[in-house]
Structure 1
Amino acid sequence: MTIIKTAELAAEDAAVAPENMTSLQSVDSAVAAPCEMPGLHGGAHFAQGQAPSTVRKIKEAAKTLLPDALFLSLLHHKCTGRYPNLIRPVTFNEKILQRNLHPDPRYIELTDKLLVRDYIARKIGDKHLIPLIAAPDVFTPEVFDALPDAFVMKANHGSSFVEVVRNKSETSFDKLKKLADQWLRTEFYYVGRERHYRSIEPRVFFEKLLLDQRGQIPADLKMHCFGGRPGGPIIYILVISDRFGTATHGDVYDVDWNHLDIAIGDYKRSAAPGPRPPNLDAVLDIAVRLCEDFDYVRVDLYAPDDRVYFGELTFTPGAGVLPFTPDSIDYEWGKLMA
C-alpha cells in the first residue's frame, strides 16, 4: 500500500515539477476561468440561469478528461498564481488539495448534508439541527403542495445548492423541479475534483427557513478550526453577511472578535466590523466540540438571536484553490495544519 501511494503522489507531483511547467502552461487554457466556477468560493446559488452553449458543453466535457492532479494544478495556478507542490505541501491550499486526492473515508458521510445530521445529533444534540421538512425520494407536486409557505430547498451532494423561498405563492413546482433536476444531474466531484463527493448519492431536501427576530436570514459563521493541539483548537471566523442580498460581505475575526485584515475567496471585507454575536461563547463551544476529532475542519453555524444551528462540515474548503488576501495567510494557515 505504501509503495502504491508513493507512486501515486510521485505521478501527481510530476505534473507540477519545474521541468514540466512549459507543458502545464500549454494546457492551462483547458481550465477556463475556473475561479468563476460556482460552488468553489461560496456563491449563494449554483449554475442557475440559461442552459450552457454547445461550446461551453464541449469545454466542460474536455475538462473531465484531465487527470485529477493535473486539473487541480491548473485550477490552483489560475486561482492563486502558483502551481502547487503535491508531494511536500506547505500552504493551506496545497494541504487541502492533498485531501481532495486522498480523502479520509469519514468525509463521505460527514460531507453528505443529510447523513451528517445523525452525527451532529449525537455530538451536540438535535436541538442544533435546522428542522427538516422533507427529504423525498422523488420531488413531486404532492411534496410541493405539502411544503409550508416559507422554506429552503437544498441538495446534499455539493456546495451552494440552495434556493430560499420566502413565499411559496411566488414560485411554482415546475420552477423548483427544474432547478432540483439540474442540481441532481450535476456531478459535483468534477467541479473541484474533491473525490469524497463521488460517493454521495444526490438528494434534494427541504428545511425550515431560519430568520432572526428582525425577519432577516442570519449570517453564515464559517469557523475555520485547526485542532489536534494542546490547549484547544485555533479558530478563525469568516462571517458572510447578506449572503442572499445585494450587499454581501465576508469578514474574518479571531475568537476575541478582532476584525482581521484578511479577505477569503471572492468576498469583500466590510468597512467596519459587525456587532459581536451575543451568543459568541456558545458558538465557539459548539465549534470546539465539532472539530475535536479532526486536525482541520470548517464548521458552519448560524446564530440567530440566542440560538445556534448547524450548517455543514467542510473538509476541503474552496477545493484547495481559495485565494487569500494577503497571500501570506495561505502559508500561515498551512503551518497550522498537520
Structure 2
Amino acid sequence: MPRSPDALVRRMKDSAKQLLPDAIFLSLLHRKHIGRFPKLFRPTTFNEKILQRSLRPDPRYGALTDKLAVRDYVRAKVGEKHLVPLISAPDVFTQAVFDTLPDSFVMKANHGSSFVEVVREKKQNTFANLQRLASQWMSTDFYKVARERHYRQIQPRIFFEDLLLDERGEIPADYKVHCFGGDARRPMMFIVVISDRFGNNTRGDVYDAQWNHLEVGIGPYARSTAPSPPPGNLQLMLETAAVLSEDFNYVRVDLYAPNNDVYFGELTFTPGAGVVPMRPDWVDFEWGRFLT
C-alpha cells in the first residue's frame, strides 16, 4: 500500500531529527514539552540538570541503568530479598525458552523504558507474538529516542521475572522515589506513586517522605481525587531507597511494595530524559535547587 503524504512527511521529519547534534535535539525536545529552551551551560531547573546529565553522564550510569547488570549492585547494597526473582535471561529468546516459562511472568528488556509485557496466563499468548515484541524492543536504539548517552553502553537483552501481585491479585503500584542528597545522611525524598499502570485508570500522585499528598503533577498522569493511605512498609521502602541512593547526589529509585515486601524495580538517573512537564512550573525550579 502506498504511504499517505502525511506519513511521508512524518518520516522525513523523523529522519531529519536524527541528523541533529544531541544538544540541539534535546533543546528542541525541551522547548516542545516544557515550553522554553533550556539553559544547558548553567542549568537551574530540574529538567535542565537532567538534560545536562544526558549529555555528560557519569561513567557509572550505563551499568546501573542496565536492568540486568544493576542486580549485582542491588544485591550487594540491600540483599537478594529485594530483587524480583529472575526466571530467565537467555542469550536468544527461542521456542524452547518459551516452553520452560511458568504460567505467569513478566517479559522485559534491559536497555530502555516501557519495555514491559505482563503475561498473566501463558496459554493466552504465543511464542510468535512475544518473539515479535521482543524483536521490536531489541531493534530499538534507546539512545536515539531522547539522546540519553549512557544508554549506548547497554547491550540489549530480553529477560523474564516473576509476576508480582498484591493481596487483591492486582499488579502493585509503582513507587518512584526521587532521592536528593545521598551520602551518609538521609536524602530528601519525594515519592511518585503510579497506580493502575496497566489499567484504564492510571494515576500519578506525589507525596513527601511523611506521606503528605502534594499539589504537584509530574508527567502525563492525572492526580487522584483523594490521597491513598501510606503503605504499611513505608519506612522500609524509604530505608531501602536511601541505601540504594547513597552513592549519588540524585537518583530515582523505583520500588514495588506488595504484601509488606519491598522489591527493586530500577535506578533512573535521567528520568523522563529531562523533558517532563512539572505542575505547577515552580516545582521544576525547586527540584533544580535540590539537585546540586
TM score, norm. by length of structure 1 = 0.83
State the AA in 2 paired with 1:331. Answer: F
Q: Kindly state the Cα deviation for residue 56 of structure 1 after the two structures are TM-superposed.
A: 3.9
Identical pairs, percent: 66
How big is each residue's C-alpha offset from its partner over 1:195-214, in whole Å with a ceiling of 9 and x where there is no partner? Answer: 00011000010000000121
Whether 1:130 aligns to 2:84 is: yes
Q: Kindly state the Cα deviation for residue 55 of structure 1 after the two structures are TM-superposed.
A: 4.5
Secondary structure of 1:239 counterpart = strand
* Distance of 2:183 and 2:42 partners within structure 1: 21
State the AA in 2 paired with 1:119. Answer: Y
Partner of residue 25, structure 2: 71
How big is each residue's C-alpha offset from its partner over 1:280-300, in whole Å with a ceiling of 9 and x where there is no partner? Answer: 010000011011100000000
Partner of residue 265, structure 1: 219
Partner of residue 268, structure 2: 314
Partner of residue 234, structure 1: 188
How big is each residue's C-alpha offset from its partner over 1:34-67, in whole Å with a ceiling of 9 and x where there is no partner? Answer: xxxxxxxxxxxxxxxxxx9555443322211110
How big is each residue's C-alpha offset from its partner over 1:307-327, in whole Å with a ceiling of 9 and x where there is no partner? Answer: 000000000000000100001
* Distance of 1:178 and 1:53 partners within structure 2: 23
Partner of residue 279, structure 1: 233
State the AA in 2 paired with 1:243. Answer: R
Partner of residue 40, structure 2: 86
Whether 1:97 aligns to 2:51 is: yes
* Distance of 2:186 and 2:99 partners within structure 1: 47
Partner of residue 281, structure 2: 327
* Distance of 2:240 and 2:212 partners within structure 1: 20
Structure 1 unmatched ranges of 5 or more? 1-51
Whether 1:180 aligns to 2:134 is: yes
Whether 1:153 aligns to 2:107 is: yes
* Distance of 2:250 and 2:182 partners within structure 1: 8
Q: Kindly state the Cα deviation for residue 306 of structure 1 after the two structures are TM-superposed.
A: 1.1
How big is each residue's C-alpha offset from its partner over 1:147-190, in whole Å with a ceiling of 9 and x where there is no partner? Answer: 00100000000000000000011110000000000000000001
TM score, norm. by length of structure 2 = 0.96
Partner of residue 216, structure 1: 170
Whether 1:195 aligns to 2:143 is: no
* Distance of 2:58 and 2:182 partners within structure 1: 16
* Distance of 1:83 and 1:246 partners within structure 2: 34
Size of the alignment, in residue pairs?
A: 287
For the aligned residues, what is the CA RMSD? Answer: 1.3
Which one is further off, 230-239 or 295-304? 230-239
State the AA in 1 paired with 2:265. Answer: G
* Distance of 2:182 and 2:230 partners within structure 1: 27
Whether 1:164 aligns to 2:118 is: yes
* Distance of 1:178 and 1:149 partners within structure 2: 19
Q: Kindly state the Cα deviation for residue 232 of structure 1 after the two structures are TM-superposed.
A: 2.2
How big is each residue's C-alpha offset from its partner over 1:110-138, in whole Å with a ceiling of 9 and x where there is no partner? Answer: 00000000010000001100000110110
* Distance of 1:199 and 1:230 partners within structure 2: 29
Say whether the 8 Å CA contact 2:183–2:246 is kept in structure 1.
Answer: no
| Pick aligned residue for 1:297 from 243, 247, 251 | 251
Structure 2 unmatched ranges of 5 or more? 1-5
Say whether the 8 Å CA contact 2:182–2:245 is kept in structure 1.
Answer: no
* Distance of 1:54 and 1:277 partners within structure 2: 49
| Pick aligned residue for 1:111 from 50, 59, 65 | 65
* Distance of 1:113 and 1:278 partners within structure 2: 27
Partner of residue 38, structure 1: none
Judged with a 3 Å threshold, the aligned counterparts in structure 2 of structure 1 residues 145 and 231 are, in CA distance, closer, same or farther, namely closer
